[in-house]
């Protein structure tokens, strides 16, 4: 009886100690009072924004690169252009390079998306999250399906882009403050990789190449102007910086679009660089194949020569016995 009472008393003390420890660390908070979505930006972040000529309330752009596993946050500065504020490591994304096509394919989406306050998820099971807005107008034009495609914390992906909790907390706070600054949305650009000639040269046989070339238009405009391009969809393809953006028929004909000459020059240079990069890859592959073929030929010649030598001299070769040599027999003289 006494032992039972002592055990209960000890258990109560331990529970009180654990509870006190959790409260002291700030970890023992009822879910209803969880305020993680309102965490203020750290002073270092605010100072860094100010140093680059921006502020928490300024507009922002988010760019994701699958192959590099990187999420970039760009902020508008006092010059009117956007500048890279910070790059965050992506813990994981689902599937391979290429767009999401249907529900359950475990692919993470690619393309251009518009993130509004309604797509922010402060009560996510994955710490914090925002919805990519998939399927967008382009995705729907292609009959693509899927839901709840997020950028979230918890470092675990099931069709989404997973960040660390620390990373998504800061990104979420940057988005929240941008909305508070009067910006109704921010643009999310998702690419398979940095859209450079070197990367495109490795993908010339991909089934997604035409799609990637299409979204490269938006990538190039951002690189040139350091400002997010407006986008819309017609003829089931993205179009950028066209008059009447947002009002086009996704399946209907595109208006006449005069391509920016600076953009055209960049893309022509990129196409030439891709051709040269592919030619260089093919040249190296041919060179390596020739070296291998010569090596195989030399190996075959040496092997044939050795076999021939054994064939000519094989009968005259006396094997060497291991151990001591056999004694020479002694011949006795006839007169003994």
Catalytically active residues are 152, 160
Q: Distance of CA 194 to CAs 71, 95, 160, 223, 226, Å? A: 12, 18, 19, 11, 15
Residues 6+ apart with CB under 8 A from 265: none
| Cα gap 122→35, rounded to integer Å | 9
Rg (CA), the chain: 34
d(CA 130, CA 151): 6
d(CA 39, CA 170): 9
Residue identified by tokens 């309330």 is 57
**Contact status, residue 57 vs residue 178, Cβ threshold 8 Å:** yes
- 270, two tokens: 């990129």
Tokens linked to 276:
């040269």
- Residue 333: burial class (beta carbons within 10 Å; 0-12, 13-18, 19+): exposed
Classify 241 in phi/psi space as left (phi over 0), alpha (psi -120 to 50) or beta: left
Tell me if 208 sits within 8 A of 225, measured CB to CB. no
């Amino acid at each position: 009886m006494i032992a039972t009472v002592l055990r209960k008393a000890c258990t109560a003390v331990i529970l009180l100690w654990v509870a006190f420890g959790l409260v002291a660390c700030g970890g023992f908070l009822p879910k209803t009072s969880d305020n993680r979505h309102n965490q203020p930006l750290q002073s270092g972040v605010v100072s860094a924004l100010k140093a680059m000529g921006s502020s928490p309330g300024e507009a922002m752009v988010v760019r994701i690169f699958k192959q590099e596993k990187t999420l970039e946050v760009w902020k508008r500065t006092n010059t009117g252009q956007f500048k890279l504020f910070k790059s965050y490591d992506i813990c994981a994304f689902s599937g391979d390079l290429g767009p999401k096509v249907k529900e359950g394919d475990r692919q993470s989406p690619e393309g251009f998306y518009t993130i509004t306050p309604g797509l922010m998820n402060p009560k996510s099971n994955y710490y914090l999250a925002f919805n990519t807005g998939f399927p967008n107008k382009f995705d729907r034009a292609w009959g693509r399906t899927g839901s709840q495609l997020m950028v979230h914390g918890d470092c675990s992906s099931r069709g989404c882009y997973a960040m660390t909790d620390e990373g998504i907390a800061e990104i979420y706070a940057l988005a929240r403050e941008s909305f508070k600054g009067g910006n109704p949305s921010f643009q999310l650009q998702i690419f398979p990789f940095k859209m450079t000639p070197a990367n495109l040269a490795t993908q010339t046989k991909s089934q997604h190449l035409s799609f990637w070339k299409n979204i490269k238009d938006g990538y190039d405009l951002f690189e040139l102007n350091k400002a997010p391009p407006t986008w819309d969809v017609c003829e089931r393809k993205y179009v950028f910086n066209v008059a009447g953006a947002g009002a086009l028929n996704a399946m209907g004909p595109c208006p006449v679009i005069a391509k920016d000459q600076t953009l055209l020059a960049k893309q022509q240079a990129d196409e030439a660089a891709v051709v040269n990069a592919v030619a260089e890859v093919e040249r190296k592959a041919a060179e390596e194949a020739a070296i291998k073929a010569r090596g195989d030929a030399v190996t075959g010649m040496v092997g044939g020569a050795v076999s021939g030598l054994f064939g000519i001299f094989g009968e005259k070769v006396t094997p060497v016995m291991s151990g001591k040599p056999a004694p020479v027999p002694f011949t006795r003289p006839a007169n003994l």
